[in-house]
Amino acid sequence: MWRLKDQLRSATALRPLMSTLRRMAVKYPRTVETLKASQIYTQWWYYSIELLPGVITHGQYEGTFPLLPRTVLRNCQVDDMECLDLGSMEGLIPILMARNGARRVLATDAVDHCRDKIAAVQHYQGLSFEYQNVGLMYDLSKKVNRSFDLINCSGLLYHVLSPLMVLAGLRPLVKRNGLIIVSTNVVHSADYLMEFNNGGRWQDEANTFWYMSVPLLDYALRYLRLAPLDCIYLPHASIQSQIRYVSDKPSGYISVACRAVDQPLLTSADNWMNRSARESWEYQGLIDWKRAAGNPVSRIEYNGNLERKCLRNDTGSMDLWRAINEITSIGMGEGDSHVLMLGDRS
C-alpha cells in the first residue's frame, strides 16, 4: 500500500516534466514562414497569441476588446501560489499566472479541443503548466484532488445549465482565505433573477443558457461563503465587436474578486440565508464543507479596491449592484485584452 502511494506521488511530481518532454518531442516550426503555413497557426483560435515575434494567431476578439478577468488577475499576488483556471482554451490566463511567479498552475477544460494549441503556446511562450480534462464542469471537488490559493472561474457560468451547481463543486477547492475570480454575463437589473437564453435572445451561441442578475450573483457568492472584494463591469451596449450580443434588456459582463470566508455573509435583514445554510439538504449535500474547512489557510494578497468602495456595512463585502452603478471607470490597463504577446506579465 505504501509503495503504491509512493508511486502515485512520484507520478504526480513527474507530470510537469513529462509534459515538457512530450512538447520537446514535437517539432514546432522555428521560422515565421513555416509557422504561418502550419496547421498550428491556421486552425481556429479563441485567443490571439503571439507564437513567434510578429506572428499572432487570429483570435475571436478584436485587440481592443477588454478581458476583464485579466485586469482583476493583475491585483492578485500569485507569486509562489497554487492556481487553477477553468475553461482555459489555449491557456492565456495560465500563462499569465505562471509568468507572474505561481508555483503551480492547473489549466482545465471540459473537452480536449485545445490540447495541441496549449502545448504549442507553452512551447513558444517558454513556460510550463499542468492541464487536466475534467469533463462537464460539475462536481469539480470530486475531480480535482488539491486546493488552490487562486481560482479563475471566468466566462463559464453562462455556459452551463446549472451555474450554482458549478460553484457548489468549485467552492471546496479554494483554500481558506484564498481568492476566486468569478466573471460572467449578467442582467443589469435590481431584481434577484436569472434570464434563460431561449431562442438565443441573449446570445446567439449554442452553449449559452443563463444570465444572472447582478444582485443574484452577489447573493449567491455570499451564500457560498465568498466575499466580493472588488469588481469591474462592462455594459454590453458599450462594446464594439463582431461578437454579437443581442437582448431586449440591458446586460453586461462583470468580473468579481472574492475572498473565501468561513461563514455565509448575510445582511442584517436576512434571516433566511443563515437558516438555509444550516438546514438545507442541498447546501450540506452538494458542497463538501468539511473539505473546505480542512483546507490550508492561504496568504495570497489582493491589491485592488484599495479605497474600499461600495462596502456593505453589515457584511463588510462589496455591494456589486451599487458598485456597477456608482463606479464609472473599469480601471482597465493597457494591454488588458484577449491578445497575449511574448513576455506579457499582466
Of 20-24, 123-127, 203-207, 209-213, where does mean pLDDT reach its minimum?
A: 20-24
Q: Are 315 and 226 in contact (CB under 8 A)?
A: no
What is the rounded CA–CA span in Å between residue 209 and residue 192? 17
The answer to whether residue 320 scores a pLDDT higher than 50 is yes
The answer to whether residue 296 scores a pLDDT higher than 80 is yes
pLDDT tens per residue across span 61-96: 888 888 999 999 999 999 999 999 999 999 999 999
| Per-residue pLDDT band at 44 (split at 50, 70, 90) | very high
Domain boundaries, the chain: 65-334
| Per-residue pLDDT band at 305 (split at 50, 70, 90) | low
Task: Pick 344 or 58 by higher pLDDT.
Answer: 58
How crowded is residue 136: how many other Cβ atoms within 10 Å of its Cβ? 13
pLDDT tens per residue across span 253-280: 999 999 999 999 998 889 999 999 999 9
Q: Are 315 and 266 in contact (CB under 8 A)?
A: yes
Retrieve residue 162's grid coordinates.
Answer: 446549472
Retrieve residue 284's grid coordinates.
Answer: 450540506
The answer to whether residue 24 scores a pLDDT higher than 60 is no
Retrieve residue 132's grid coordinates.
Answer: 487536466
Backbone angles phi, psi at 175, to 5 degrees: -65, 155
pLDDT at site 2: 43
pLDDT tens per residue across span 128-162: 999 999 999 999 999 999 999 999 999 999 999 99
Give me the CATH code for the 65-334 domain, please.
3.40.50.150
Backbone angles phi, psi at 255, to 5 degrees: -125, 120
Retrieve residue 107's grid coordinates.
Answer: 489549466
pLDDT at site 57: 97
Pick from 259, 306, 224: nearest CA to 150? 259
Residue with cell 434577484: 192
Report which DSSP code applies to 175. E
Retrieve residue 11's grid coordinates.
Answer: 507520478
Beta strands (DSSP E) in 172-242 are 174-187, 194-196, 210-213, 226-235
Task: Pick 21 or 219 by higher pLDDT.
Answer: 219
